[in-house]
Amino acid sequence: MTTRRMPAEWEPHERTWMAFPPANITFGADGGQALHRARLAWAAVANAIVKYEPVTLLVGPGQSEAARSYVSAAVSLVERPLDDSWARDIGPTFTIEADGSLGAVDWIFNGWGTQDWALWGLDREIASDICAQSGLTPRHSTLTNEGGGIHVDGQGTVLLTETVQLDPGRNPGWTRARVEAEIHAQLGTSRAIWLPRGLTRDYERYGTRGHVDIVACFTAPGVLAVHEQRNPAHPDFEVTRAIIDQLSRETDVHGNPLRLVAIPAPDVAVHDGLPTDFSYINHYVGNGFVVVPVFDDPADAEALDLLASLYPGRAIEAVDGVAIFENGGGVHCITQQQPTARERTQPVEP
């Protein structure tokens, strides 16, 4: 029986959704150089993507002129109230329904587990708003979850993290079985692979408590790119060794062992006085391209070569990753793909 399905990220897109950084506690409430640096970094990603597929950028009320000074005229701007700009987490997760039409799930969003610094009164409305702009009525899930907390192969396998979906700040009292039942119902998956945790820095202030999208991602059916920290002095050395060991023993929805490709962490071990979580895994794949964060680091070249081999035929677009990661995430975190549905004759223009 054909059911709904969350397509893999490398499948065709109708567009990419992003959000323009507002002045806030993480980017700087004063609208100074920190906010400018973040906006330059977000704009670099939008300008890279729009060369290949449509991009819609949500901007705060009255911020269109400011946003346009950063992004290409090809990027569509839509004004909406925003708390933050992590489109992967505040946007909907799109699916293809059994009849080939586009669908979407609106997870509950509560500021990454009601963290004391987070505001989400505006952002929790963004998923439904994006759906409305796309001509969709979302499915409202009972699970508190974010797009950065899942990764799929498009064939029925999903990656999850115990410290995200089972976080008491997100889903108190939920069991693995209950989480899996809801995830599978919403995404059309049937095989969940649970990682025990994420990278060390992700548990510091402004972290997500273990999002999978800086740790591991499918690059093709049965192929998994995995973050590898090679510095024995870095706390993620043991973390990533354990994760790689676990994943080497996992199977996909078809019962086949996964082929792992280790992507090295950047050499830099400390940033802003804390262990780095800089990760090339947190890249974004679209229509003929891959946007990859780079860190002016000796490991950049090896990582870019490995990713180019994993995505043959796609252009590799390198962007400054430091300016994004120092605010709490990466390229994947600030983008959300809207897949192409079979029955849509033309894109909906916001």
Q: Kindly list the catalytic residues.
A: 333
How far is Cα 111 from Cα 124, in angstroms, rounded to an integer? 9
φ, ψ dihedrals at 109, nearest 5°: -115, 125
**Helix, strand, or coil here: 311?**
coil
How far is Cα 26 from Cα 100, in angstroms, rounded to an integer? 40
How far is Cα 208 from Cα 169, in angstroms, rounded to an integer? 11
Q: In this structure, what token pair is assigned to residue 221?
A: 């059916």
Q: In this structure, what token pair is assigned to residue 214?
A: 């800086």
Q: In this structure, what token pair is assigned to residue 309?
A: 């081999």
Residues 6 or more apart whose CB falls under 8 angstroms from that of 155 comprise: 8, 221, 252, 253, 254
Instruction: Say which residue the tokens 């610094």 belong to.
Output: 117
> To 10 degrees, the CA torsion angle through 280, 282, 284, 289?
0
Q: Which of 333, 336, 320 is nearest to 26 (CA)?
A: 333
How far from 65 is each of 35, 59, 241, CA to CA, in Å?
A: 16, 10, 47
